[in-house]
């Protein structure tokens, strides 16, 4: 399929593609930014500063030919399409690009359009969050002594989180999917059931993070995500007792 054929085929679905791209970028950056935040260190001498990982570390993790981006390009669309929640709502008009007719095209667009944007936007977004482009700011200092993910490539469990988070980021904003949304009366104690999706956001976040039982049980990511959202959970069969920062914006979502 040449470029003209691709444009002709996708032109009726440009808005759907933009929403999918937004969800995928958020799914990846929710992990990258959380790990970035967790690794920050305070230093008080000779003046108080905060040491942060180098932005180049994010670039290195998102190298176009690196193992993580290669895995995303190869598998993400198909794993999103076969996710149980996607299959449950596959007849929604916004998910038509995940159907058999379009999925190979969507995977091609991921590889040639979404992934290059993702590799560019995520380091830029994190840099902007810390105002690193301002050479006069003295609060945050990049340090080459701070590793992300312990200096290793992302594991298969990190990828599994990204795939699920991309699905959640997408489905939770689609207008054609009905949602039962409950806002807890207080953040210091509430109950989440296994069929609910916990959404946590706050003013310093780049995007919300969605928690499911799968996310809680993913030990490679859950500790970091709970740390950066100041959240504690206690599991009791299919019920979770949750405590989180009073300033977080919290909701429980059931997709219907």
Per-residue pLDDT reduced to its tens digit, 15-57? 999 999 999 999 999 999 999 999 999 988 778 899 999 999 9
Q: What percent of the chain has pLDDT over 70?
A: 99
pLDDT value for 150: 83
Contact between 17 and 109 under an 8 Å Cβ cutoff? The reply is yes
Mean pLDDT of 191-196: 96
Residue 151 has pLDDT above 80, yes or no: no
State which of 29-33, 149-153, 199-203 shows the largest mean pLDDT.
29-33
Cα dihedral sign, 8-9-14-17: negative
pTM for this prediction: 0.94
CA-CA distance, 138 to 255, in Å (whole number)? 45
Ranges of H-type helices in 83-175: 84-88, 103-109, 115-129, 156-171
Asked if the model's pLDDT at residue 4 lies above 90, the reply is: no
| Residue 2 in this model has a pLDDT that exceeds 90 | no
Examine the pLDDT at 147 and tell me if it is beyond 80.
yes
The pLDDT assigned to 1 comes to 61
Domain boundaries, the chain: 1-177, 178-256
Q: Averaged over 231-256, what is the pLDDT?
A: 96
Residue of higher predicted confidence among 218 and 45: 218
For residues 49 and 42, what is the distance between their CA atoms, to the nearest angstrom?
6
**pLDDT tens, residue by residue, 61-82:** 999 889 999 999 999 999 999 9
């Amino acid at each position: 399929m040449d470029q003209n054929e691709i444009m002709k085929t996708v032109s009726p679905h440009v808005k759907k593609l933009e929403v999918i791209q937004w969800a995928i970028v958020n799914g990846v950056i929710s992990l990258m930014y959380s790990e970035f935040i967790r690794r920050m260190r305070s230093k008080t001498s000779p003046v108080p500063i905060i040491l942060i990982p180098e932005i180049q570390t994010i670039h290195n993790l998102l190298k176009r030919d690196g193992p993580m981006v290669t895995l995303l390009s190869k598998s993400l669309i198909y794993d999103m399409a076969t996710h149980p929640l996607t299959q449950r709502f596959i007849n929604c008009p916004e998910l038509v690009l995940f159907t058999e007719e379009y999925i190979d095209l969507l995977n091609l667009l991921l590889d040639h359009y979404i992934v290059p944007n993702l590799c560019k936007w995520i380091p830029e977004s994190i840099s902007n969050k810390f105002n690193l482009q301002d050479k006069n700011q003295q609060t945050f200092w990049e340090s080459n002594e701070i590793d992300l993910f312990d200096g290793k490539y992302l594991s298969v469990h990190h990828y599994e989180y990204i795939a699920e988070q991309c699905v959640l980021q997408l489905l939770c904003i689609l207008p054609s999917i009905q949602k039962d949304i409950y806002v807890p009366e207080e953040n210091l104690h509430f109950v989440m059931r296994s069929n609910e999706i916990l959404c946590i956001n706050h003013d310093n976040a780049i995007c919300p993070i969605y928690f499911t039982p799968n996310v809680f049980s993913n030990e490679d990511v859950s500790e970091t995500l709970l740390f950066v959202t100041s959240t504690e959970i206690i599991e009791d069969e299919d019920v979770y007792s949750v405590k989180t920062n009073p300033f977080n914006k919290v909701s429980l979502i059931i997709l219907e």
